[in-house]
Amino acid sequence: MNKNLFFSLLFLTTFPALAQQLTIQGTVNDESNEPIPFCNVTLTELVSSKVTVGTTTNETGFFKLEDLKANKYILNISYLGFNSYQDTITLQKNLVFKTIVLKEKTQDLDGVTVIAKRPTVKRLVDRLVFNVENSTLSNGNVLDVLKNTPGVLVYDGAITIKNSTPTVYINDRKVHLSSDEIQQLLQGTSASNIKSIEVITNPPAKYEAEGGSVLNIIMSKNLTPGYNGSLFGDYKQGSQYPKYSIGTSHFYKTETIDAYLNYNISPRKDYRHNSEYINFIENNQVTSSWETDYKRTSESSNQNINANIDFKINDANSLGVSTNILISPKQNTITDVASTTDVFSNAYTLDSIFNTNNRVFDKRTNVAVTLDYTHHFKKEGETLLMSAHRTKYDFLSDQFVDTDYFFDDRTTLIRNNTFQTISGQKIELYTGQLDYELPINDSSQFEMGGKVSSINSESILTQYNYINGQPVLDLQNSDTFLYDEMNYAAYSSYSKDWETWSFKSGLRVEYTDITGNSFAANQINTSDYVKFFPSLYLLHRFNENHELYFNYNKRIYRPRYSELNPFKYFLNDNAYITGDPNLKPQIDDNFTLGYTFNKKYTFEAYYRYENDPTLQITFQDNTENLLKLTNTNIDRSISYGLDFITYTNITSRWNLYVLSSIFYYDSLFFAEESNNVQYALDKWSLYSQIINYFTFLKDKSLTADVSFLYISPIVDGPAIYSGRSGLDITLRKTLWNNRASISVGVTDMFNALNFTQTNRYLNQDYLLKSRLENRMLTFGFNYKFGNTHLKTNQKDIDMEERDRLD
């Protein structure tokens, strides 16, 4: 609506000064009972057909027409992709409409029904919302959706946003799983019931201060009583071994109960071939060189169970119980590593070799239960949420390492060394949380809450050296480590929307009390600290095609529990992993300035200062000829860069997604094996992901996704990782009126995602060449049964500290 028309309408509605001033108000939702913002709402006089007044719905779907006189009108409500709503009314008093539901527009093409879609990407003041409901992406699994989500990178077994690992939430509840377990859960969960993915680069005060960015997966809500389910699975064939995954989901709803159950099992074998080169240095001269060839096979058969049930007590109160269970049985979780090391003298003459066989049996159970209570007050939007959570984590590992040492003829045995390591960790985690939400008016909201967490961890390490075939306890390399942590948090936030501005600010305060006890060292470490975590968000809409936004927040990364263990866990005779009970938490300051053009193209500049980052650094001990993987704090890291993101349609059957980032990373660390000299490493890097979505056939039931990923050489602490690239292609066909889908594809077509790691500075000279089963042929299927019009109440349990498990 142009300015002249707006002021004309304003004049028309206020001219009869002596007339009674009336109002019309209401809320507009879609068929899923979700609000539709920015609907056009107009009021036309019935007799003259003149437009009297007009407005748009706000973010909650609410509209209000004011300063009206008694008359007969036609109310029109419209939104792109939906059938318009029209009603003839006789206005004699203030009128309040019940919820007005707009139905999605359909177009019939030769008997084929095509449903119009809403806009895919939306920018809010503190997050980016990627709507995927009923899209082609909903036929895959949740991990597939994340691979296509703006601002998110999924590669090399990791999910990252702006070079950091995000925290995963489902329906605003944090997932208390380790990074590997989260990927297993998401890969084993169908995406058919996802409504949207929220990418929150700098999370507001409501979210835990722990971690960096947040990925909030919003599941659709169940509206219609009944039952539905799905069966899904995939098969991947790598260069060496196949990988399988199969699962099933079930949803059931009555007037008072919503129930959801998901189960999946993922039997698989993974192969990794590494080559390792070390030059041991003394007085700036190479004294010995080691070249090692590793071949590692990992077998697993993880099982995930995710379930929840919601009880509607009445219109104002509801109760929910959620559980998430991960089981990795010992008989199916086996890792075999065979390695051969050639030892050369300083003249690069073969001196000796040693062959090592390492077999590990792991057993893991992770059981979490959450109880939720929600109360809705009489005031619309005023809500109280309470939850209690418990996690029980149990891990046991049994490792056998056997090494034979030979002379340079490779046949004459020098000696044999065999040892066994039994390690385990038990963790009990309890949390209680309260959140209160209060809409002050139609354009502002207040939130506050608090959380208490208790963590108790017991880690054991027992090593046996075999002498004459008999195990002898190695007291020097055995220990028990107890770790207790209490965390108390409180937060508040306020948000306000104007016509062209949006504002949100908040403050979170956390107090942490820690005790660590190493039995072998007879050492107890205690620490406590209070940290403040402010957040600020500003968004300005110049017009419908131009947006400018800024946000800032402070975050914390607490050490993973295994990183605190002071054990020396030997991988072989010459390499071990160790932690540090005195690790400090990492504190980050994050700044983001972004600009969005035409609702499609976003340019985002960011700056992040990391204080005391925790890294696992590979050091070589030049005196003992050992390789140490040490969990330690480095001094600081600085990262800044410019991102470009677009998700747009080229034609009606071709959509394009581009994520590109050029960034600078600078780290300052202490060289532990070089007299703790302070050393800096920095580099400019580039990563880019381009995904093309193609649609074929008249009914659009055949799709093709072509994805290309490029990462230039990057720096991480003292290590430089080589560049890599990968091309993925996936074809997907929906069948039987979208009740089923099948897919076929290939990942890393040219096998270019392998990389090298180089640590070369001062007296350190280490090179690792990593070769994984990245190139794979993939097959997938998904079949839905029952009432497929149901929407699930699926949610995951409130989890914060569980992602610190390993």
Judge whether 787 and 768 are in contact, CB under 8 Å: no
Burial of 462 (0-12, 13-18, 19+ CB in 10 A): middle
Section 69-91 average pLDDT: 84
Which of 27-31, 287-291, 365-369, 588-592 has the least mean pLDDT? 27-31
With cut-offs at 50, 70 and 90, classify the pLDDT of residue 642.
very high
Section 302-311 average pLDDT: 90
| Per-residue pLDDT tens over the stretch 548-557 | 999 999 999 8
Higher pLDDT, 197 or 448: 448
Section 611-621 average pLDDT: 88
In the predicted model, is pLDDT for residue 739 greater than 80? yes
Section 305-327 average pLDDT: 91
| Per-residue pLDDT tens over the stretch 183-201 | 666 766 767 667 788 888 7
Section 36-40 average pLDDT: 79
DSSP 804: G
Q: How far apart are CA 729 and CA 41, in angstroms?
A: 44
What's the pLDDT at 360? 95
Q: How far apart are CA 289 and CA 345, in angstroms?
A: 6
Query: CA 670: distance to chain centroid?
Result: 31
What's the pLDDT at 560? 80
What's the pLDDT at 117? 45
In the predicted model, is pLDDT for residue 223 greater than 60? no
In the predicted model, is pLDDT for residue 500 greater than 60? yes
Q: How far is CA 589 from CA 530, 586, 592, 593, 597, in A?
A: 16, 10, 10, 14, 27
With cut-offs at 50, 70 and 90, classify the pLDDT of residue 170.
confident
Section 3-10 average pLDDT: 41
What's the mean pLDDT when you consider all of the chain? 85
> For residue 742, how many other CB atoms are within 10 A of its CB?
15
What's the pLDDT at 337? 94
Q: How far apart are CA 184 and CA 302, in angstroms?
A: 8
Judged by DSSP in three states, 146 sits in helix
With cut-offs at 50, 70 and 90, classify the pLDDT of residue 113.
very low
> For residue 551, how many other CB atoms are within 10 A of its CB?
24
Section 97-106 average pLDDT: 80
For the chain, what percent of residues have pLDDT higher than 90? 46
| Per-residue pLDDT tens over the stretch 467-486 | 999 999 999 999 999 999 99
Q: Which of 156-160, 201-205, 518-522, 756-760 has the highest mean pLDDT?
A: 756-760
In the predicted model, is pLDDT for residue 114 greater than 60? no
Residue whose token pair is 């719905």: 57
Higher pLDDT, 255 or 406: 406
Strand partners, 88: 74
In the predicted model, is pLDDT for residue 48 greater than 90? no
Tokens of 163: 């070079």
Section 584-604 average pLDDT: 91
Q: How far apart are CA 726 and CA 750, in angstroms?
A: 7
Residue whose token pair is 């709803």: 253
In the predicted model, is pLDDT for residue 19 greater than 70? no
Q: How far apart are CA 512 and CA 502, in angstroms?
A: 33
Q: How far apart are CA 486 and CA 633, in angstroms?
A: 22
Secondary element (H or E) of residue 528: strand 523-543
What's the pLDDT at 127? 80
Judge whether 656 and 650 are in contact, CB under 8 Å: yes
- Rounded to 5 degrees, φ, ψ at 752 are -110, 15
Rounded-to-10 torsion of CA 308, 314, 315, 321: -20
What's the pLDDT at 156? 61
